[in-house]
């Protein structure tokens, strides 16, 4: 009887210790970054990440925040977007997050469009993930390219047109 009581007590303590284990932050692995649109006002992007939840409980993404840098030196803008995806316990989930970033400095964009080349971008961000009792800000970074054609089209669209003459600006 004592052996049975001791075994039950040991099992109960094991369950309690496991239940009190501190949750681990999910791991984000960048998959891709894709330009969906470029305009004079901003850039549309789609970021895809794999999120691995190592915990025994489901948690949910809440939002994503990021800083976009063009050509390694121009701060193009910042974005925060609500994104709610359930991450099941002990599983990996693919996150696809659309975002629109308003240009911080259109002059830099015009300069880059005049450079006659594709321009690399980088998104440094965090995804807020949690549940009622745990919260994590999990960092990620993803790189991509804005094509020269996309930049030229965006800047060309910013020039007012003369009615009836395509491609020429309206003069004041």
Q: What is the pLDDT of residue 84?
A: 92
User: CA 88 to CA 31: how far, in whole Å?
Assistant: 19
Choose among 81, 17, 12, 77: nearest CA to 47.
81
| Intervals of the chain under pLDDT 70 | 1-21, 155-172
User: CA 150 to CA 35: how far, in whole Å?
Assistant: 9
Q: What is the pLDDT of residue 164?
A: 60
Contact 38, 153 (CB under 8 A): yes
pTM, to two decimals: 0.74
User: CA 125 to CA 99: how far, in whole Å?
Assistant: 12
Choose among 100, 125, 102: nearest CA to 30.
125
Q: What is the pLDDT of residues 147-162, one digit of tens each?
A: 988 877 776 665 555 5
């Amino acid at each position: 009887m004592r052996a049975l009581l001791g075994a039950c007590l040991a099992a109960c303590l094991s369950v309690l210790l496991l239940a009190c284990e501190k949750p681990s932050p999910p791991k984000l692995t960048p998959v891709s970054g894709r330009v969906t649109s470029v305009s004079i006002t901003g850039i549309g992007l789609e970021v895809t990440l794999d999120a691995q939840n190592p915990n025994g409980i489901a948690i949910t993404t809440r939002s994503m925040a990021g800083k976009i840098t063009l050509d390694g030196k121009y701060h193009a803008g910042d974005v925060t977007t609500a994104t709610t995806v359930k991450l099941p316990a002990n599983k990996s989930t693919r996150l696809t997050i659309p975002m629109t970033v308003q240009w911080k400095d259109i002059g830099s964009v015009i300069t880059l469009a005049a450079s006659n080349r594709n321009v690399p971008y980088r998104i440094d961000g965090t995804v807020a993930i949690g549940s009622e009792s745990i919260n994590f800000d999990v960092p990620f970074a993803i790189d991509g390219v804005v094509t020269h054609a996309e930049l030229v089209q965006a800047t060309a669209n910013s020039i007012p047109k003369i009615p009836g003459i395509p491609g020429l600006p309206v003069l004041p």
